Amino acid sequence: MGILASQILQDFRVQGLVTEQLGPDVAFETIQPVETCTSEDLVFADGEQYIPTVLDRKPAITVTNKSLASSLVEAGLSVIVSPNVKLSQALFRQKYTDTDFHDSEWGQVHSSAVIHESVNIPASTVIGPGTVIGKDVKLGENCVVMANTVIEHDVLVGDDTIIHSNVVVGWGCKIGSRVFLKSGCIIGSEGFGYAQDQQRKHYRIPQQGIVVVEDDCTIGTNNVLDRAAFEETRIGSGSIFDSLVHVAHNVKMGKDCIMLAQTVIAGSTEIGDRVIASGQTGILDHLKVSNDVVLLHRAGVTQDIKEPGMYGYLPLQPLKTYIKNAAAMKKLSDIKRSVSRLEKQMAKLNEE
Catalytic residues, by residue number, are 249
CA angle, corner 248, sides to 245 and 253, nearest 5? Answer: 80
- Strands of the sheet containing 30-31, edge to edge, are 20-22, 78-81, 61-64, 41-45, 30-31
DSSP 229: S
Burial of 349 (0-12, 13-18, 19+ CB in 10 A): exposed
Closest CA to 274 of 262, 289, 260, 258: 258
Maximum Cα interatomic distance, the chain, rounded to a whole number of Å = 97
CA angle, corner 245, sides to 240 and 246, nearest 5? Answer: 120
Neighbours of 220 (CB within 10 A): 20
Closest CA to 245 of 224, 270, 271: 224
Q: Are 93 and 31 in contact (CB under 8 A)?
A: yes
